[in-house]
Amino acid sequence: MIFIPSIDITKYCDEYGNYTADGAIHLQEDTDREFGLFNSHRNEDENEHKMIRNQIDALLAMGNIEAFDEICKIVTDSNFDKLSYLFSDFKTFKTSCIIYKIERESGFTETVYDKIGNIDDYVRYCTKMLHLFRRIQLLCPYKDIVDLFMQFIETGLSFFFVVQMLKELEIGDKYQVGIKLADLYNVSGCITEAEIIRSYVIKNFEYKENVESKVEEVLETHIAEYETDYNKKICFVSCVNDDFIYSECLYYIKRLIVPDGCSIDTLAVYDAKSATSGYNEAMAETDADILIYIHQDVRILNPYFLFDIINIFASNPEIGMMGVVGSPKLPPDAVMWHGIRYGKLYELHQDGISFPENRMNKTPKVRDVVAIDGLLMATNKRVRWREDVFDGWDFYDISQSTEYIKNGYRIVVPEQEVPWTAHDAGIMNLYSYDIYRKKYLAEYSNG
C-alpha cells in the first residue's frame, strides 16, 4: 500500500484562514493519525523499492534486448508508478522506457539502457541535464555551458534523451533553452541532431523574449555607491554526502559578486550524523562573521546575495537569522506547510530569472517569521544547534529558529521580486519527519 500524508487544512480554519480552537485540536489529531498510517507502511515501501531497484539494475547488467524489454514492463507497471511518488529515483527513471522505445523504433544499435549501468547512472545524467538547462537559462558564461554540454556528449546518450528532458523537466523558457541546445549541437558538428531538436522546439514551445542581466556593467557603474561596511568574513557551510551535487552548489557560490573587503570561504562537513552535529562542528571550525548554512542541493541565483544579507544584518542589530522561506506563525501541529509561508523558491517552472540593477547598496524589505526552512539559513550570531534532541535531519531548522527567538533575536525572510535560490531536493523523505515533529512539540510546546 502506498500512502502519502496529505491534509486539507481549510477545514480547520475560519473564513480568514486562521485555525479555530477546535480546528487546532482536530488538526493535531489528524496529523498524528495520517503520519502514523504513513509510517506503518515504511518497511513495506522501502523493501519493495529496494527489491525492484535490484531487479532493474540486474537486468541492465545483462545488457540484452530481452532484459531491456523487461525493464519497460516493470517501469510501466502501476506498482512502480505508485512508488515513484515516494522515491525520487523511481520518479526520474519512470520515463526512461519512453526514450528506450523511441530509440529502438528509430533503429539505434545502442539505447539509453546500454549507456547506463544502474538506475543511479540515469538519475545522474538527468541531473546533469538539469544543471545544463539552468546554466543556459540563467545566461551563465558560455564556457561553463559548453563544458557541461561536452560532458553530456561524452556519455553517448542520444538526442532523444535531450528531447525527453526538455519535455519533462520543469524549467523556464524551454524555447530559448532548446534553441541554444540546438546551436551547441550544430557547433559540435552534429548537424542532423541540431535540426531535429530545433524543429521539435519550434513546434512544441512558445517563444518568449529573453531579457539578459548585465551583472558586469552593473558592478562597474555602481562600484562607487557602496555605503555599508562590507568588511566581513562569510562562510558557507554544508553537510555533504554527494560531491557531484555539491559541486553545482559551489559553482553558484563562486558566481556571486563579492563586495570589496569581503572574504568568502566554504566548509563541507562529511559523514555528519545529523544536521545539528555537522553544523556545530563547522561553527567550531570557523571564525566567520556570517555563517550561511546551505543544503548541498541549493543553488544561489541572486548575484547580489552577499550584498543583500550584509545589508539586512546591518539594518537592525536585533536581526539574528535570515532565510529565503519561512513561517510567520507555526501551525498547531508544527508542520510548516500547513500554514502561511513567506519567501520564494525557484521551482524550475518560472518563465525567467532576472535581478533588478543597482541592488548592491539597497537593503531588501524583510518580513518577520518564527521559523525558516533549512535549505538556507544565514546568521551573524552564534547559537549552538540542539543536537541533544534533534539527532537526525528533520526539524533542526525549526528548532534552531525557536532557539534564536528564545535568545531575543529576530528572524526574517526578505521580500524577493524573483526567487533568490533554487532547491533541487526532489521528493521529501518523510519517514522520520513525524518522530522529530513530536520531539519538537515536546521540547517547545510549554515555551
Residues 172-187 have a mean pLDDT of 92
Do residues 433 and 298 share a domain? yes
Do residues 433 and 380 share a domain? yes
| pLDDT tens, position by position, 30-43 | 999 988 888 888 88
Residue 232: pLDDT above 80? yes
Tell which of 204, 227, 260 closes a domain.
Answer: 204
Do residues 179 and 265 share a domain? no
Residue 195: pLDDT above 80? yes
Residues 198-202 have a mean pLDDT of 95
Name the residue with higher pLDDT: 254 or 340.
254
Domain count, the chain: 3
Consecutive H or E run containing 238: strand 233-240
Do residues 71 and 146 share a domain? yes
Phi, psi angle pair for 70, to nearest 5°:
-70, -35
Residue 86: inside a domain: yes
**Which grid cell is 295?**
543544503
Number of helices (H), then strands (E), belonging to the chain: the values are: 18, 12
What is the average pLDDT value for the chain, to the nearest integer? 89
Tell which of 171, 204, 237 closes a domain.
Answer: 204
Name the residue with higher pLDDT: 383 or 139.
383
The model's pTM is 0.89
Q: State the pLDDT confidence band at 349, using cuts at 50, 70 and 90.
A: very low
Residue 406: inside a domain: yes
- CA-to-CA dists, residue 424 to 92, 137, 248, 315, angstroms: 13, 16, 11, 31
Distance CA 443, CA 447 (A): 8
User: Is residue 379 helix, strand or coil?
Assistant: strand
| pLDDT tens, position by position, 291-313 | 999 999 999 999 999 999 999 99
434 in the Ramachandran plot: left (φ > 0), alpha (ψ -120 to 50) or beta?
alpha
Other residues' Cβ atoms within 10 Å of the Cβ of residue 258 = 13
Tell which of 176, 204, 232 closes a domain.
Answer: 204
Residue 172: inside a domain: yes
Q: Any idea what the CATH number is for the domain that residue 295 is in?
A: 3.90.550.10
Do residues 56 and 30 share a domain? no
Residue 210: inside a domain: no
Q: 16 is in which domain, residue-wise?
A: 9-40
Contact between 21 and 7 under an 8 Å Cβ cutoff? The reply is no
Residue 71: inside a domain: yes
Nearest CA to 364 out of 397, 409, 404, 323 is that of 323
Do residues 258 and 361 share a domain? yes
Percentage with pLDDT > 70 across the chain? 90
Residue 430: pLDDT above 90? no
Residue 338: inside a domain: yes
Do residues 200 and 116 share a domain? yes
Task: Report strand pairing: 376-379 vs 290-294.
Answer: antiparallel
Residue 26: pLDDT above 60? yes
Do residues 306 and 284 share a domain? yes
Q: State the pLDDT confidence band at 356, using cuts at 50, 70 and 90.
A: low
Cβ contacts of residue 320 below 8 Å, gap of 6+?
A: 379, 380, 381, 383, 404, 407, 409, 410, 411
Do residues 299 and 377 share a domain? yes
Residue 209: inside a domain: no
| pLDDT tens, position by position, 261-275 | 999 999 999 999 999
Residue 1: inside a domain: no
Give the model's pLDDT for residue 221. 41
Do residues 260 and 146 share a domain? no
Nearest CA to 325 out of 265, 376, 276 is that of 376
Residue 348: pLDDT above 50? no
Do residues 159 and 62 share a domain? yes
Do residues 30 and 147 share a domain? no
